Structure formats: structure tokens, C-alpha cells
């Protein structure tokens, strides 16, 4: 897949109704450097992230419990890992910090809180954690708020489209 193909897919995703459609521009604008996507499903957010890293440089690692390796054609800037997003062995393999982490997995408090605890320390200074479905799933919003309060990072809530929490790690 070429950069032109990815950007076309991104534009189509922006124009196609989905549960994350209104946040694709935000994800595209934040995607640079090392990016981690927890939860891949059909690859709608993946294509926005990939278009961003193609433009600005970087690499995306996507982790999902299901095999989502076929949602996009093979791409040198995207690596899919089938596994549990709460697996400490996966986090231990990471050597570079992430500029962006997108969490959009199981949408329950316990899982989301565990993901934040595991991956939060891997956010680069100035980097962000985006968490989808904070309106639809109150446990996700609670986990985001509690994490941000505990580590002292500012949090912003973005609506509509099921809501997005944006937690920024200070520089």
C-alpha cells in the first residue's frame, strides 16, 4: 500500500459513519513517531494513524486479542501483534516511548485501568493517551480520570462520537 492509498482510505473512513468517525482527524493529527493502538477491530482508527505516520514519520504497533492482521495490506510502518493488551511481556518488549497510545479495547473499567497502568509509563514526555468510548462506557471514563489524577497529567474530554479522553503527559 502506498501513502496515496492510505490517505485515500483515511478520507473514506472520515466520510463513512462509524463509532469513531468524528475522532479520526484528531488521531491523524496526533500520529507521529512511535504509536501504539490497543484494539484494532476493523482498522478504521488504524488507517487514520497510519496516514499520520506516513506523513510525519513513525511506526504503529497494533495489539488486539483477535487476528486483525488482514484489516490493512502489509505495510512497513505498521506491525500487528495478536495478543492481550494487558500482557506485561508485550510491554517489556517496548524499548522506545510512544508519542501516542490509543486505547479502544474491551470498554470495562478493570481492563482499561490495567492497560493504563501497564502502558502509561511508556508515553513519551509531551505524548498523549487517547481513550475512545468514554461516554458510552462510564468505566472507561472512570479509569481515564483516575489514571490522570494519580499521575498528575491533564485530561480533556472530546465529544461527540462516543467521546474521547485525551490525557497529555507533560514535557
DSSP string, 37-85: EE--TTSHHHHHHHHHHHHH-EEEEEEESS--TTSS---TTEEEEES-T
- What's domain 3-68+75-168's architecture? 3-Layer(aba) Sandwich (3.40)
- What does the pLDDT profile of the chain (171 residues) look like in tens digits? 677 799 999 999 999 999 999 999 999 999 999 999 999 999 999 999 999 999 999 999 999 999 999 999 999 999 999 999 999 999 998 778 999 999 999 999 999 999 999 999 999 999 999 999 999 999 999 999 999 999 999 999 998 889 999 999 999
Residue boundaries of the structural domains of the chain: 3-68+75-168
The structure's pTM equals: 0.96
Amino acid at each position: 500500500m502506498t501513502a496515496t492509498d492510505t490517505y485515500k482510505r483515511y478520507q473514506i473512513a472520515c466520510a463513512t459513519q462509524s463509532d469513531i468517525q468524528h475522532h479520526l482527524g484528531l488521531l491523524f493529527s496526533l500520529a507521529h513517531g512511535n504509536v501504539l493502538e490497543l484494539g484494532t477491530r476493523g482498522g478504521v482508527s488504524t488507517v487514520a494513524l497510519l496516514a499520520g505516520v506516513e506523513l510525519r514519520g513513525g511506526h504503529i504497533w497494533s495489539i488486539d486479542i483477535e487476528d486483525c492482521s488482514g484489516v490493512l495490506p502489509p505495510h512497513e510502518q505498521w506491525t500487528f501483534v495478536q495478543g492481550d493488551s494487558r500482557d506485561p511481556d508485550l510491554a517489556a518488549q517496548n524499548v522506545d516511548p510512544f508519542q501516542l497510545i490509543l486505547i479502544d479495547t474491551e470498554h470495562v473499567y478493570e481492563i482499561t485501568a490495567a492497560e493504563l497502568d501497564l502502558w502509561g509509563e511508556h508515553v513519551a514526555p509531551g505524548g498523549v493517551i487517547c481513550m475512545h468510548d468514554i461516554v458510552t462506557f462510564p468505566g472507561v471514563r472512570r479509569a481515564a480520570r483516575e489514571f490522570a489524577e494519580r499521575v498528575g497529567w491533564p485530561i480533556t474530554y472530546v465529544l461527540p462520537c462516543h467521546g474521547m479522553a485525551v490525557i497529555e503527559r507533560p514535557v
